[in-house]
Amino acid sequence: EAGVTQFPSHSVIEKGQTVTLRCDPISGHDNLYWYRRVMGKEIKFLLHFVKESKQDESGMPNNRFLAERTGGTYSTLKVQPAELEDSGVYFCASSQGGPRIAEQYFGPGTRLTVT
C-alpha cells in the first residue's frame, strides 16, 4: 500500500509568487493534516480535514494560505502571494477512523524556499 505522497519535493519561488503544494493521503484515510516546520523551530499544525471538510484551521498563519480537499481525496495548499517567512518544510499526514485515533502517517514533506 502506498504511503502519503507529496508534490513537489522542493520548490523555489520568488517573493510575491504563488505556489501550490499537493498531498495524496493513504487511500481510505478520512483525516488529513498539514503541518509546517520553519528552520530550527517546532513542527507546527496548520489545519485538519475530515474527508472534504475543514475540521480545524486554527494553525493557518494568515489568509495568504488556502487549503482544499475536493472530494475528500487529495489536498492542496496554496500560498498566494508567498513571503520570505513562508519558507520551510510542509508536511502532510493522514490517519484513518475517528479523530481520536492519533497515529498519523507522514509524507516526506515539501521544502519551500521563498527568495
Partner 1 sequence: GDSVTQMEGPVTLSEEAFLTINCTYTATGYPSLFWYVQYPGEGLQLLLKATKADDKGSNKGFEATYRKETTSFHLEKGSVQVSDSAVYFCALSDQDSGYSTLTFGKGTMLLVSP
| Sole binder of partner 1 in the list 65, 82, 95, 112 (CB under 8 A) | 95
31 binds partner 1 (CB under 8 A): yes
Site for partner 1, residues 45 to 74, rule: CB under 8 A? 45, 48, 55-56
C-alpha cell recorded at residue 5: 505522497
Residue 28 within binding range of partner 1, rule CB under 8 A = no
Q: Which one of 12-20, 22-30, 64-72, 98-106 is the stretch in contact with partner 1 (CB under 8 A)?
A: 98-106
**What does DSSP assign to residue 33?**
E
Which triple of cell numbers denotes residue 78?
Answer: 496554496
How many angstroms separate the Cα of 15 from the Cα of each of 7, 42, 80, 82, 98?
A: 20, 23, 10, 5, 39
Please report how close the Cβ of residue 82 comes to partner 1 at its closest, in angstroms: 23
Exactly one of 8, 53, 80, 101 binds partner 1 (CB under 8 A); that residue is 101
- Strand segments, DSSP code E, in the chain are 5-7, 10-13, 19-24, 31-37, 43-50, 53-56, 65-68, 75-79, 88-95, 105-106, 110-114
CB nearer to partner 1: give 10 or 15: 10
Summarize as ranges the residues that interact with partner 1 (CB under 8 A). 3-4, 31, 33, 35, 37, 40-45, 48, 55-56, 91, 93, 95, 99-109
